[in-house]
Amino acid sequence: MRNTALAALAISLPIAVSALAQTTSTTVVLPGEVRTYVLEQKNPSVAYEREIVIGEPLPETVKIYPVPDQPKYGYAIVNERRVIIDPNTHTVIEVLE
């Protein structure tokens, strides 16, 4: 009986962990003033041949502008789209529409 219970636990544990991992979200809630500030800026757009993907870095050649009083956030205008970026890693946090 005990071996059966252990076997059932061994089978179900990876399934439970997998389900938990799938429900974990990496959504970042931006302060409203970051979004507002970025939408108001008139910097030039840069061309980028690849798709902009949240969670992936942009090349170091893309100029990142700082967001005043918000050191965790920067932005760039890429392919005419405003992109919120982590200035330390160049990782895309959000694309504003």
Three-point CA angle 29, 32, 37, nearest 5°: 125
Residue 89 is predicted with a pLDDT of: 96
Examine the pLDDT at 76 and tell me if it is beyond 60: yes
Q: Domain extents for the chain? A: 32-96
State the pLDDT confidence band at 24, using cuts at 50, 70 and 90: very low
Contact 95, 35 (CB under 8 A): no
Residue 15 has pLDDT above 60, yes or no: no
Q: How many CA atoms lie within 13 A of 25 on its CB side?
A: 3
Percent of the chain beyond pLDDT 90? Answer: 66
**Contact between 39 and 47 (Cβ < 8 Å):** no
**What's the average model confidence in pLDDT over 2-11?**
57
Q: How far apart are CA 63 and CA 41, in angstroms?
A: 14
